[in-house]
Amino acid sequence: MWPFSRKGASGFSSSSTAEQVTEGIDGTGLTAIVTGASSGIGTETTRVLSLRGVHVIMGVRNMLAAKDVKETLLKEIPSAKVDAMELDLSSLESVKKFASEFKSSGLPLNMLINNAGIMACPFKLSKDKIELQFATNHLGHFLLTNLLLDTMKKTSRETKKEGRIVNVSSEAHRFTYSEGIRFDKINDESSYSNWRAYGQSKLANILHANELTRRLKEDGVDISANSLHPGVIATNLSRHISPVNGLTKAIARLVLKNVQQGAATTCYVALHPQVKGTSGKYFSASNVAKTTSQGTDADLAKNLWDFSMDLTK
C-alpha cells in the first residue's frame, strides 16, 4: 500500500474511484451541468453521476465527441439521462448563449461542475482578447456560474435541497506567479510563463469558490461552493513520456491516477452527504486539504471577483 493511498477522515483515499465514493447514493431527480464532459475526468464524472440517477447536461465544445460519449453511456446505462449542449468556455458570447438556452429549457439545476480546462498552452488571447488559460479555466466558468445562480437558487428553494457548485482546480495553484493573480499583467506576453499562467488560473478557481461562498452565506442561500484537486491523471501525462522508457511508464502507472480515480473527488464533492453544509473548502483525494496562503486570501478573492466582473460586463 502506497503511503498516499491511506484513507482520510472521509473514509476515502487517492486510490478511491468515482464509483466507490458514490456507492449507494441515489441522485434520482437531481440535475447537473458538467463542463468539458466529452473527455477525461469530465466523461467519467458524467458517467458516474448518470449511474447514480442524476440527469447530466454536458457542456462541450465538440458536439460530435459528446454524441459518442452519450451513445457509449446509454449502452452501459440504458436508464441514463444525458444531454449535450454546445459550450466554449473561452468565449463569453458562447457562455451567455449556453446559459440562455439552459434557462429556456426550464430544467432545474442542483449541481454545477466547472470541470473544463486547458493546460500550459503557449501564449494566446481568447476571442475576447484575454489570455487564453485565464479566460477558459476561470473567466468562462465565473460568468457561467453567475448566469446560472438564480436557477440554482430557485431549485434549492423549491426542492429544499442544497445546491452544489464544484470548481475543478489543481495543486498547480501552488506554482502561480509570485503575486498570485497578475491583475495588471493578465495579457502580458513578454513575462508569460505557460505553467505559471496555468497555476494562476487554478488559483483563480479556488478564490472564486471562496468568495462565492462568502456571498452565498450573506444571502442565506443553501448552495455550497468548493474547489478541488483531481490528482495527476496518468492519461494526461503519459503523452509526454518516451515510449522507449517502459520503466518510467510502469512507475507512472503506480504513482499517477487513472480516470476513474481522477473523477472521484469531483463526484464526492458533488454528491456525497458528508459534504453537506461544507463550503469554501479545497478537497484532494476526497478529503478536505490545505491550499497555499494565497488560496485562503480573502482580499485577493474579492479583488479577483471585482476584476472578473469588469471583464465579463
The reported pLDDT for the residue numbered 246 is: 59
- SS3 label, residue 247: helix
Q: What is the model's pLDDT at position 78?
A: 97
Q: How far apart are the first and last CA of the chain?
A: 51
Instruction: Identify residue 166 by its one-letter amino acid code.
Output: V
Q: What are the cell numbers at 9? A: 477522515
Paired strand residues for 288: 283
CB 129 within 8 A of CB 92: no
The tens place of each residue's pLDDT in the chain, 313 residues long, gives: 344 578 999 999 999 999 999 999 999 999 999 999 999 999 999 999 999 999 999 999 999 999 999 999 999 999 999 999 999 999 999 999 999 999 999 999 999 999 999 999 999 999 999 999 999 999 999 999 999 999 999 999 999 999 999 999 999 999 999 999 999 999 999 999 999 999 999 999 999 999 999 999 999 999 999 999 999 886 554 444 445 455 555 555 556 889 999 999 999 999 999 999 999 999 999 999 999 999 999 999 999 999 999 999 9
Return the domain boundaries, the chain.
18-309
pLDDT value of residue 238: 42
Measured N-to-C along each axis, helices 92-105 and 140-159 cross at an angle, to the nearest 10 degrees, of 20
Give the Cβ contact number of residue 302 at 10 Å. Answer: 15
Q: For the domain with range 18-309, which CATH number is right: 3.30.360.10, 3.20.20.70, 3.60.21.10, 3.40.50.720? A: 3.40.50.720
> Active site residue: 177, 192, 198, 282, which one?
192
Q: For the whole model, what pTM was predicted?
A: 0.94
* Alpha carbons 307 and 63: distance in angstroms, whole number: 32
Strands ordered across the beta sheet of 55-60: 82-86, 55-60, 31-35, 111-114, 163-168, 223-229, 282-284, 287-289
What is the model's pLDDT at position 253?
A: 57
Q: Is 192 a catalytic residue?
A: yes
